[in-house]
Structure 1
């Protein structure tokens, strides 16, 4: 067994001088480690797509693109006589721009698919945490009502509290949401 007492092993809930609780700091560090691990475990194609998307979504890329196109146009209109004209009809420029757009859109889609998968994982985690919290709150309501009944507190007999003690069944909630969306003509 550890030399630490139960109190030392348990996370503290009081905020430190920076305003973050040790528990919050721990959670932030866990999330940061998980993100670093996921990035390290990503395959080369995913890392490449992420890097290309990150760069092409920057103002540096926009500036470089604008400069390259202006230079291309200036050269091929003959405004820079020190350089020979090589695309007087701008067909090559249009082809290069089309091919670039094709590749960039593919990289963006790869990155979006990866981000969507991560969002799905986070949504699943959020749902699990929310269901756990709902279950815990329901149990607490039951416990508090029992204590209030034992102490003879009149408000404990409120019929609305009885409904709050019912456990939520997620499947029924989802079924009802889908039924209402279908009834309203929305895509579920």
Structure 2
């Protein structure tokens, strides 16, 4: 367990992930949404609902179906909203990651192009010196 903690603490995060974590930590609304989404996506949520609805139907209401239907429908509306919030955040994170990765790949492409041009120029100089017997000419 300590090895895993040590590995994760030294591993670098993607800049888009670091920005997303900072944004979530800075916003109270996102922290609340994260907590609700985390709980709603757990088995504890399922178990709690089984117990609550069973107790409700057996103990508290003689005819639980109309009220239960209303409560479950309202809960479904709110939970689907939290799912959409999570999907929107995930889409924004994926777009930020894609934008960052594109910018990095463009920088690499330009660096590789410059290196290829420099290697080509040096190859031409070596060819001129070795094969053609021309003295080296200073070039940029």
TM-score (norm 1): 0.54
Q: Which has the higher contact order (CA 8 A, sep 6+)?
A: 2
Deviations 1:138-157 (A, max 9, x none): 1111112222222229xxxx
Matched, 1:60 2:44: yes
* Matched residue SS, 1:123: helix
- What's 1:41 paired with? 26
Distance 1:125 1:97 in 2: 42
- Give how far 1:87 is off: 4.4
Query: Which residue of 105, 109, 112 corresponds with 2:87?
Result: 112
Cα 1:120/1:106, change in 2 over 3 Å = same
Distance 2:71 2:18 in 1: 40
Distance 1:139 1:61 in 2: 57
- Give how far 1:89 is off: 5.1
Greater per-residue helix proportion: 2
Distance 1:113 1:50 in 2: 13
* Matched residue SS, 1:152: helix
* Matched residue SS, 1:117: helix
Over aligned residue pairs, what C-alpha RMSD do you find? 2.7
TM-score (norm 2): 0.69
- Give how far 1:106 is off: 1.1
Distance 2:100 2:14 in 1: 17
Distance 2:21 2:85 in 1: 19
1:91-130 equivalence runs, <5 A? 91-130=66-105
Cα 1:66/1:148, change in 2 over 3 Å = farther
Which consecutive residues of structure 1, in runs of 5 or more, have no partner in the other structure?
1-24, 76-82, 154-188
Aligned positions, number: 119
Distance 1:32 1:146 in 2: 41
Distance 1:93 1:114 in 2: 31
